[in-house]
Chain A
Amino acid sequence: MANNVLVLAEHFQGHVTDITFELLGKARELAPALGGSVGVALLGHDVGGLVSELGAAAVVYAADRPELREFTPDAYAAVLGIAVAHASPRVVLLGSTSVGLDLLSLLSARVNLPCIDNCTAIKFQDGGLVATSQIYGGKLFAEVLLTQRTTLIAVAPGMFPAEAGRVSGKPQVVQIPHALVAPEPRTSFRRWIEPPPGDVDITKIPILVAVGRGIQSADNVPRAEALAEVLGGAVCGSRPVIDQAWLPKTRQVGKSGMTVKPKLYLALGVSGAPEHVEGMRGAELIVAINQDPQAPIFSVAHYGVVADLFDILPLLTAEIKTRQG
């Protein structure tokens, strides 16, 4: 009977990452209600030292091999597939991260199990499990009713408290059999590329003026910079702004960019897609200006203005200048 919960542990540069604890916390809540226990898959090399951090799980399914030292989708999917077969899970929880996203779809097709992406909530409802997923850039939520089949779920970072999963202990360690792993991985890790140096570090700046697609062109970025300047802060941006090269990569907030927690996050023309919100939901004060009253940024902002940002921006900059004398 598949009633356990299996979590994939993620680690980066020798440390278990927050998403792992967020998932473990949720797994501890779900597993007893399902009548099962929590397992965690720990793949890597020389990672035995991380086991004690995974006390939220009853069992650690471990694979410690040189070719698993860094993440490659091919080999990790093969080993995780074996862990899934061993652990009898009702749900497998992955992060909706650089690692988890690759594995979710690859494994779903390889082992023929259903999968759900970008999950924001998992709860029991009418005796069944329901996973809520954020789609259309955060404009809609879909509630998926889970079947009895093992379901792979990728959870958006920051949705569940990490504290609930940060439990030290001595879980039982079960080695994932090696023999079943494909001997010749078709994908191999070469090296890490460090973030580009030389620009400001937006994670250390207390006031950020963020621009999204609504800024429309590179020519308009100086208008946001003028506001950032009077506030003594810096300008950052969402993915589309970086992809269009309107701002350098160092200024990107969100998935595969920076996670920032400033005192003030002033979001101009930022729609609030989940991959952006993931990087700024921890800001102390979020003020959003967007033309679209349905923009999901208003769900995470503390204060919102529905307006053309170009109507407000110069007036706000001038008003602040005046008040500062």
Chain B
Amino acid sequence: MNIAVLAKQVPDLVEGVEIDASGKAVDPTSIRYILSEPDDHALEEALLLKERTQARVEVFSLELGEVRDTLCTALAKGADRVVMVRTGLETPPDSHTTAKLFATVLRGSAFDLILTGVRAIDDLDGSLGGLLAGYLNLPYVGLIRKVELAGDQGKAIVEKEYPGGYAAELEVQLPAVLGIQAAEQPPRYLPVSRLRQVMKAAKVEEETATAEGVEPLAVGRMHKPEEGKGATMLSGSPEEVARQVASLLSERRLLR
């Protein structure tokens, strides 16, 4: 059983994102990249499957930001092989381009399962998993919270989330692409000392890929949430604010 995990770098929202001078794109210099959170869950689910079934886990990322750290972390957590894909692109590619790049890398390889986060915060033109499955003509299911492998029967049993706490159990023929919403347990913690230790000897392999024929969406303008639509802001010392909120609730008869 071979599992590929696609791990994407996205802007760290804690650091904020700014719009560039054209007004149509994000300013790349304003961004600090981190691993997309659902992709971290995809890696965790892959590692859980490895523990249960002795699957081999390989992690692929496009060259961007501090991706080496991400890949070394994946190795330290238990991945068997990590690959940085060089693209020659100067700006982060859109989802369609990303999917075509990964399709180039993965086409013809012997993966039974390709896991990725169900979505990323910068998905404007759809999400990677479904697009990749479409390009590779593989089945796809997204919003997955649990994967069980019946590898000898060439299938996976998955749980797909629905509103209201419902889930659907589906059977998917392998090979397949799955969009992970949440792993069965929170992504494992890696002590910094362990990461440092691994980084010294870590081998990040490199591959090169190109994508052609993607017509990007025409973004006319980007903007922040409209001002004036927002909340009435309360200010003052913490004591004053606490009193204001309590008064607000009292006026609305929300206090017992």
Contact = CB atoms under 8 A, between A and B. Distances in A.
Interface of A: 12, 70-74, 97-98, 101-110, 114-118, 130, 133, 135-145, 147, 154, 186-196, 207, 231-232, 239-240, 242-245, 249-250, 252, 255-259, 263-264, 271, 285-288, 294, 296, 298-299, 301-307, 311-312, 315-316, 318-320, 323-324
A117 B217 CA distance: 11
B126 A316 contact: no
Interface in B17-33: 17, 19, 26
Given A70-B168, A108-B126, A256-B163, 18 more contacts: A97-B163, A98-B162, A102-B130, A107-B134, A109-B133, A133-B124, A137-B121, A139-B17, A145-B218, A186-B173, A194-B165, A231-B254, A258-B164, A259-B164, A305-B233, A316-B242, A316-B246, A323-B246
Contacts of A142: 124, 219, 221-222
A216 B140 CA distance: 34
Given A263-B254, A324-B256, A188 B224 contact: no
B241 A188 contact: no
Contacts, number: 276
Contacts of B217: 114, 116, 144
Contacts of B119: 101, 117
B123 interface: yes
A243 B17 CA distance: 24
Interface of B: 11, 13, 16-17, 19, 26, 37, 41, 95-96, 99, 118-119, 121-135, 139-143, 157, 159-173, 176, 179, 181-182, 185-186, 215, 217-226, 229-235, 238-239, 241-243, 245-246, 248-250, 252, 254-256
A193 B139 contact: no
20 contacts: A101-B118, A101-B143, A102-B142, A104-B126, A106-B130, A106-B131, A108-B134, A116-B126, A117-B126, A130-B220, A141-B222, A142-B219, A187-B172, A188-B171, A239-B182, A264-B252, A285-B254, A286-B231, A307-B238, A316-B245
Contacts of A186: 139, 172-173, 176
A319 B135 contact: no
A109 B256 contact: no
- Does more than half of chain A's interface fall in helix, strand or loop, or is it mixed? mixed
Nearest to B38: A243
